Amino acid sequence: MFCFINSYRKLSSRRISCGESGQASVEAAILLPSLLFIIGLMAQPICIFYTRTVMNTAASEAARLVLTQSNHVSKDDIDAFILRRLRAIPPLTIFHEGGEEGWEITLGESEKLIEIAITSKIKPLPLVGIFSAALTGATGGLGTISVHVAEPLRPGWLSGGYEDWVEQWGD
């Protein structure tokens, strides 16, 4: 038995079998899970990229703080400064695991460099974690994300000392 569907514009008419009326539902049942899986596959790398960006920015700002305020800033002040900036990361395991205690902040200072490293754990989505680690450069193994910033204490183009600058500009 056949059902007839006629166009109201009389441009075309076609015959559709009555057994094909549920085809769109079957296609949607196949397409929607696939589409949701692809969106989920893209969500993890985006979240990790956001976390790494905030971590890198916090480490860079802390390095600049140490360079400009080296006499007045303690290690606890730097940690508090970094943790305040890291609060921009949502406390979800897809972004970061462990809350405020989950951050590992290390500060190193040498004669020519200030180094700040921030490390944390993430909990990757099932089957997505491998792709996320590969695409976003999560280091230290699967589930670990870290950034390392090294800033010179004095720029290479800057020469002389304070006395030289005063002599040059003062009169």
Q: What local confidence, expressed as pLDDT, does residue 104 receive?
A: 93
3-class SS string, 67-90: HHCCCCCCHHHHHHHHHHHHCCCC
Average of pLDDT values for 78-94? 90
Q: How confident is the model at residue 91 (pLDDT cuts 50, 70, 90)?
A: confident
Candidates 162, 157, 128; CA nearest to 142 is 128
Q: What local confidence, expressed as pLDDT, does residue 128 receive?
A: 61
What predicted TM-score, i.e. pTM, was given to this entire model? 0.67
CB 120 within 8 A of CB 55: yes
Q: What is the Rg, in whole angstroms, of the alpha carbon atoms belonging to the chain?
A: 29
